[in-house]
């Protein structure tokens, strides 16, 4: 089946879910968020051709591309004080690529829906990543996705959902533990003075109870929750990178490439692998692909 190859200019918009916090409330809640950007993003995690140029003078997006970090988000309803955290750690990834069409040594990312200028990206979300970003992807270059490519893309989506869910849990736990220690350390002088004064006025037992309530109140401030979410997101991203590093050391494919590796095995067994030339075509009348070199 022929699928539209992705270009750096292709844009997406999605409706996902993230944690939001609306002062004076102090309990974060899972709410809808609208995200939008181009597949290139700010190029922080982008993978794209630098010498191979496609139609309209734009480069091609390669396998493993992520438009994050820093993806614009709008909370519904606004304004959530956690939006800066969501934006900072945002991302969106095309999960399907043509294994038989490589540009500069890497498979080209493509839309999942054949013969269509609309596709779906895997989006950053809470409590796990899932496909909800709608990609608008006009292009005159089509690439062939094999059976293995399609199955491999689906496996990559499932793997990413599972890994991000685990990372989200670990990040939330670590963020809560670290923030608890930070708040306790910063508030320790105040709490000691508070306990001393309350002991003189109400006795030791009552003072200890009031001190515990005061400490909990400090942790339940919007700023403390925002810091906690930030620490959790940092941990979540570090966990994902550590997992990929560990897989690399073990000689296994990285998490984003596990599905592709499995798809390649399926193609090999089925004998469905094809040549690059047979899997690339231009719409009649379109400008050909060319190299900038």
Domain ranges across the chain: 2-145+273-286
Asked if 135 contacts 10 with a C-beta cutoff of 8 angstroms, the reply is yes
Categorize the per-residue pLDDT at 260 as very low, low, confident or very high, splitting at 50, 70 and 90. low
Q: What is the largest CA-CA distance in the chain?
A: 88
- 53-100 tens-digit pLDDT: 998 899 999 999 999 889 999 999 988 988 988 998 899 999 999 998
Average pLDDT over residues 45-54: 93
Beta strands in the chain (DSSP E): 2-4, 11-20, 29-38, 48-53, 59-61, 73-75, 92-93, 97-103, 106-109, 118-123, 130-136, 141-144, 280-282, 290-291
Question: Per-residue pLDDT for 161 more than 80?
Answer: yes
- 188-236 tens-digit pLDDT: 555 556 556 666 666 777 756 665 655 555 455 555 666 667 777 777 7
Beta bridge partners of 291: 52
Q: Token pair of 293, please?
A: 């070199």
Alpha-carbon dihedral sign for residues 213, 219, 222, 223:
positive
pLDDT of the residue at 25: 73
Burial of 105 (0-12, 13-18, 19+ CB in 10 A): exposed
């Amino acid at each position: 089946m022929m699928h539209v190859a992705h270009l750096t200019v292709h844009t997406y918009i999605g409706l996902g879910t993230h944690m939001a916090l609306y002062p004076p409330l102090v309990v974060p809640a899972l709410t809808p968020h609208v995200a939008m950007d181009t597949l290139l993003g700010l190029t922080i995690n982008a993978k794209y051709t630098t010498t191979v140029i496609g139609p309209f003078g734009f480069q091609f997006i390669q396998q493993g591309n992520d438009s994050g970090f820093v993806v614009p988000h709008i909370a519904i309803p606004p304004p959530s004080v956690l939006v800066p955290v969501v934006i900072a750690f945002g991302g969106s990834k095309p999960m399907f690529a043509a294994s038989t069409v490589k540009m500069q040594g890497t498979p080209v990312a493509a839309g999942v829906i054949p013969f269509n200028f609309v596709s779906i990206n895997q989006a950053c979300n809470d409590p796990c990543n899932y496909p909800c970003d709608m990609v608008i992807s006009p292009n005159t270059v089509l690439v062939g996705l094999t059976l293995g490519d399609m199955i491999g893309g689906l496996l990559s989506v499932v793997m990413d959902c599972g890994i991000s869910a685990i990372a989200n849990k670990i990040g939330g736990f670590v963020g809560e533990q670290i923030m608890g220690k930070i708040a306790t350390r910063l508030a320790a002088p105040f709490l000691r003075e508070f306990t001393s004064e309350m002991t003189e006025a109400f006795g030791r037992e009552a003072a200890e109870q009031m001190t515990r309530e005061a400490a909990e109140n400090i942790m339940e401030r919007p700023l403390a929750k925002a810091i906690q979410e930030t620490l959790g997101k940092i941990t979540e991203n570090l966990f994902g990178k550590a997992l990929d590093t560990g897989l690399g050391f073990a000689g296994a494919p990285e998490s984003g490439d596990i599905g592709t590796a499995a798809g390649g095995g399926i193609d090999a067994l089925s004998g469905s692998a094809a040549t690059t030339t047979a899997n690339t075509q231009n719409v009649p009348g379109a400008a050909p692909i060319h190299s900038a070199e």
